[in-house]
Amino acid sequence: MINPLSSFVFSHPLIATASAENGSLVLAGVLLSLVVVYFASKIGGEICARLDLPSVLGELVAGVLVGVSALHLLVFPSADFDASRSLIMQALQMTAHLDPEALNGVFESQSEVISVLAEIGVVILLFEIGLESDLKELIRVGYQAAVVACVGVAVPFGLGTAGLMLIGAALTATSIGITARVLSEIQRISSKEGQIIIGAAVLDDVLGIIVLAVVAGLAKTGEVQVASVIYLILSAAVFLIGSLWLGRLVSPFFVTLVNELKTRGQLLVSALIVAFILSDIAVVIQLEAILGAFAAGLILAETEKRGELEEQIKPIADMLVPVFFVVVGARTDVSVLNPFDPSNREGLIMSGFLIVVAILGKVVTGFTVFGQPGLNRLAIGVGMIPRGEVGLVFASFGATTGILSDALQAAIIVMVILTTFVAPPLLRLVFQREETAPVLSRPDDA
């Protein structure tokens, strides 16, 4: 009944009791949503593990099952969805008896918290990926990664623009979260292919942001906003190179400081401070939080604390990363895939074209890598296939500005769904085919 924290500040009497009561419900809703997330991730993950598929695929599919497409356990507020369509809210309402408006407030707060937890999950994931990566190896494969990134942006963009520029833009950016998770599962992150994929995926995220700026400028004013494009390129370069350079300088002091601290969690909390500050800087200069977290991981991986930190970040990743993948699945409305609904058909045909372009445009990138004999080029290309979040942001932008028809928007969504779901098993397959290649990953990578 009593929620301690949310009633600490009580300026307006009526608000005070209402928020005390509802705050407790928000916590209950968040915990219940997490229970749904954990059940879904474990059931989906375990089934896939037994079928020898990547467990992240199971998390995505289980997310679809509990989400907006099927069970409505984990749904998010929108024009079509208020609290009355969320099973969790209905369950809480059985004992709470709130009026509909108050219940919608609880629904919105709970959804906001779950969304941010999912985003912190992907921040932690990228931090962990950074920790598991090898900066020297990344720099060594830097040229190759840059080529893969540029080709992987240029080819799908070029092919897609044959349709429409925005479609091309939506095809550019690889979803680093999905690829990194699969690489981690099959213990290939620190292989040369893994490092090229990670490096290229980080770079094409930056390129994707630049492409969006260009396309948005064209859509708004009919001309390319050169200044903002230059700003983005410069700030991304300064941020990545600057943080790594500064990090190398400062990290000995970090280790000394951590060794001086005496209270519980000294290493973990100090590392989280570094990760969150760099994530924040990335957001402030209009890049993405995950880039900052990745840079922080790379920096701290260079210190002697790497092993200890990997050990401590693991339970946190286990707690928060599944939230990201299940939420991605839960937010995906697969009803646009239903071929029996006539209104879906135009989109489905368009999406056939898009999927071919999306897959081919990335698979070719592996074969552009030069001077690296014995590399699994197909694996690199396949690793770049999944488009996740950024593609959907483009679809959203297209819908907002009226550039895209409903069918085209649906086609982009279908493309994102299929590339996201197809890449994990494919990636696993192409890596397994070459069992002769050396496995460079560390034993504790699992």
* DSSP 8-state class, residue 340: T
Please identify, using beta-carbon distances, which residue of 253 and 340 lies nearer to a copy of itself.
Answer: 253
Nearer to a copy of itself, 14 or 342 (CB): 14
Query: CA-CA distance, 220 to 441, in Å (whole number)?
Result: 47
The nearer residue to a copy of itself, 38 or 367, going by C-beta atoms, is 38
Give the shortest CB-397-to-a copy of itself separation in angstroms: 7
Question: Taking a C-beta distance cutoff of 8 angstroms, is the pair 378, 430 a contact?
Answer: yes
User: What is the Cα–Cα distance from 225 to 177, expressed in whole angstroms?
Assistant: 30
CB nearer to a copy of itself: give 28 or 60: 28
- In the bound complex, what is the minimum distance in angstroms from residue 219's beta carbon to a copy of itself? 12
Residue 212 vs 369, nearer CB to a copy of itself: 212
CB 247 to a copy of itself: min, Å:
16
Q: What is the Cα–Cα distance from 209 to 431, expressed in whole angstroms?
A: 30
Q: Kindly report the backbone phi and psi dihedral angles of residue 308, in degrees, each rounded to the nearest multiple of 5, phi listed first.
A: -60, -40
CA distance 119 to 102: 26
CA distances from 222 to 152, 160, 230, 375 (A): 26, 19, 18, 43
If the CB atoms of residues 124 and 355 are measured against a copy of itself, the closer one turns out to be 124
CB of 181 to a copy of itself, least distance (A): 10
CB of 388 to a copy of itself, least distance (A): 7
Q: Which two tokens stand for residue 238?
A: 């300064």
Gap between the Cα atoms of 77 and 83, Å rounded: 7
Closest approach of Cβ 232 to a copy of itself, in Å?
A: 9
Q: What is the distance of C-alpha 72 from the center of its chain?
A: 22
End-to-end CA gap in the chain: 42
Other C-beta atoms lying within 10 Å of the C-beta of residue 42: 15
**Nearest approach, Cβ of residue 57 and a copy of itself (Å):** 12
